[in-house]
Amino acid sequence: MKCLIIAAGKGSRLQQRGDSKPLVPILGIPLIERVIRSAMEAGADEFYVVIGYQGERVRLFLERLADRLVIRITPLVNDDWDKENGVSILKARDVLREPFLLLMADHLFDPNLVRPLTTMTLGDGEVVLVVDRNTRNPLVDMEDVTRVKVEDNGPMERKKIRDIGKGLADFNGFDTGIFLCSPAIFKALEQSKEKDGDATLSGAVQLLAAAGHAKAIPTDGFWIDVDDPAAFQKAEQALLKRLRDKPNDGPVARYLNRPLSVWISRYLVQRNVTPNQISLFSFLCSLLAAGLFALGGYFALFLGGVLAQFASIIDGCDGEVARLKYQSSDFGGWFDAVLDRYADAFLLFGLTWHLLVVEVNGWILFVGFMAIIGSFMLSYTADKYDNLMRERIKTGGKAGLRMGRDVRVFLIFLGAVANMVLPVLVLIAVVMNLETLRRVSIARNAQY
Pairwise CA distance, residues 313 & 319, whole Å: 12
Q: Is the pLDDT of residue 416 over 60?
A: yes
* Contacts with 295 (C-beta within 8 Å, 6 or more apart), sequence order: none
Conformation bin of residue 177: beta by default, left when phi > 0, alpha when psi is -120 to 50: left
Backbone Cα Rg of the chain: 27
Q: For the domain with range 2-232, which CATH number is right: 3.40.50.1980, 3.40.600.10, 3.90.550.10, 3.50.50.60?
A: 3.90.550.10
pTM score of the predicted model? 0.86
At 69 the three-state DSSP class reads: helix
At 30 the three-state DSSP class reads: strand
Q: What pLDDT score does 396 carry?
A: 54
At 163 the three-state DSSP class reads: strand
What's the topology of domain 246-446? Four Helix Bundle (Hemerythrin (Met), subunit A) (1.20.120)
Q: What pLDDT score does 15 carry?
A: 85
Catalogue the E-assigned strands of 152-303: 159-165, 173-181, 214-219, 223-225
Give residue 355's identity as a one-letter amino acid code: L
Helix ranges (DSSP H) in 123-220: 184-196, 201-210
Q: Which of 322-326, 339-343, 375-379, 420-424 has the lowest mean pLDDT?
A: 375-379
Q: What pLDDT score does 17 carry?
A: 87
Other beta carbons less than 10 A from residue 401's beta carbon: 10
Q: DSSP string spanning 377-436? A: HHHHTHHHHHHHHHHHHHTT--------HHHHHHHHHHHHHTT-HHHHHHHHHHHHHHHH
Under the banding of pLDDT at 50, 70 and 90, the label for residue 390 is low
Give residue 151's identity as a one-letter amino acid code: E
According to DSSP, the β-strands at 127-132 and 214-219 are parallel
Pairwise CA distance, residues 85 & 73, whole Å: 20
**CB distance 268 to 278 below 8 Å:** yes
State residue 70 phi and psi, 5-degree precision: 55, 55
CA dihedral 59→62→63→68, nearest 10 degrees, is 170
Alpha carbon 109 to its chain's center:
10
Average pLDDT (251-278) is 94
Q: Which of 367, 376, 372 is nearest to 421 (CA)?
A: 367
Pairwise CA distance, residues 411 & 153, whole Å: 56
168: enclosing H helix or E strand: none
pLDDT tens, 183-224? Answer: 999 999 999 988 888 899 999 999 999 999 999 999 989 999
**CB distance 381 to 439 below 8 Å:** yes
Pairwise CA distance, residues 343 & 349, whole Å: 10
pLDDT tens, 295-325? Answer: 989 999 999 999 999 999 999 999 999 999 9
Q: Which of 443, 372, 442, 380 is nearest to 408 (CA)?
A: 372
pLDDT tens, 40-94? Answer: 999 999 999 999 999 999 999 999 999 999 999 999 999 999 899 999 999 999 9
Residue 122 carries which DSSP code? P
Q: Which of 170-179, 205-214, 222-231, 240-249 has the lowest mean pLDDT?
A: 240-249
Q: What pLDDT score does 389 carry?
A: 67
pLDDT tens, 22-35? Answer: 999 999 999 999 99
User: What are the structural domain ranges in the chain?
Assistant: 2-232, 246-446
**What average pLDDT is seen over the chain?**
91
* Contacts with 415 (C-beta within 8 Å, 6 or more apart), sequence order: 305, 351, 421, 423, 424, 425
